[in-house]
Amino acid sequence: MAVKASRFVTIKGIKDGLTFQFNDTCDFEDLVTELRFKLEHTHQSILTGPLVHVDIRTGKRQLTEEQKDTLLDILSQKGNLLVRSFEEFVPAEPEPEVYDRNRVRIVTGMVRSGQVLQYEGPILFLGDVNAGGTITSTDDIYILGSLRGMAHAGINGNKDVVIAASFFSPTQLRIADLISRPPDEGESRESHMEFAYLQDGVMKIDKIANIARLGRDFNVFKGV
């Protein structure tokens, strides 16, 4: 698929679909107008044929939920386009919501689809990681909430880390350079908190009550 010059909307063909790059400085209404024009006039050819996956990139534009819904509605109603990911700007966490107590960092919030949160050191995340969202850390990751997206602990190569969540249903788990397969579709998950860890190069999942068996020093949470 050809790449065409654009003022506000750039459509690029990639190996397995399309990317829609939206200008992050123009008026939102101008962006919407150009998007509609391209889909209805200059880029009609992409609306025919087999299903096409679309990745949306919004740069540093901060969209309201209503604006995001507008863009998704336009694309979802056009021919064979299927929105696969929506990468939007994530502002830095406000200072009151991030605390350092000893070594652990405590963060509250929610990781939405397309968002990626990165941290150094052990992280205690109070909230949900939704499908399509990603949370990473050089150390342990503890989530008091649902993990339905991707979590990557030990991103610097540290294998002596764990990933824990109150509700464990990730699309993917990574510890150091080892990647787990997602759970089988329809596989039921336990309702209690679970954690993932490496043992002899294999990723395993167990009840959080058994974490002491790892022989780890969890004084990182002293004072939390």
Exposure class string for 30-39: b at 16+ Cβ within 10 A, else e: ebbebbeebb
pLDDT of residue 97: 46
The percent of residues above 70 in pLDDT, for the chain, comes to 81
What is the tens place of the pLDDT at every residue in 143-154?
Answer: 999 999 999 999
Q: Report the half-sphere exposure of 210 (CA within 13 A, side-chain side).
A: 9
Same domain, 30 and 121: no
Q: Can you tell me the distance from the alpha carbon of 23 to that of 59, in angstroms, rounded to the nearest whole number?
A: 7
pLDDT of residue 217: 57
Same domain, 99 and 188: yes
Same domain, 80 and 99: no
pLDDT of residue 39: 86
Same domain, 106 and 202: yes
The 8-class DSSP code of residue 224 comes to -
Question: Are 57 and 94 contacting, i.e. CB atoms less than 8 angstroms apart?
Answer: no
Q: Can you tell me the distance from the alpha carbon of 189 to that of 169, in angstroms, rounded to the nearest whole number?
A: 7
Same domain, 60 and 133: no
Domain annotation covers residue 2: no
pLDDT, greater one: 158 or 6 = 158
Q: Of 69, 87, 105, which marks where a domain is finished?
A: 87
Same domain, 196 and 169: yes
In this prediction, residue 183 has a pLDDT band, given cuts at 50, 70 and 90, of: low
Its domain, for residue 129, covers 95-221
Q: Which of 46-50, 65-69, 104-108, 193-197 has the lowest mean pLDDT?
A: 46-50
Same domain, 76 and 136: no
What is the tens place of the pLDDT at every residue in 66-102?
Answer: 998 898 888 887 778 888 887 876 666 555 444 444 5
Same domain, 198 and 117: yes
> 36 in helix, strand or coil?
helix
Same domain, 27 and 122: no
Burial class (CB in 10 A: 0-12, 13-18, 19+), 150: buried
Domain annotation covers residue 207: yes
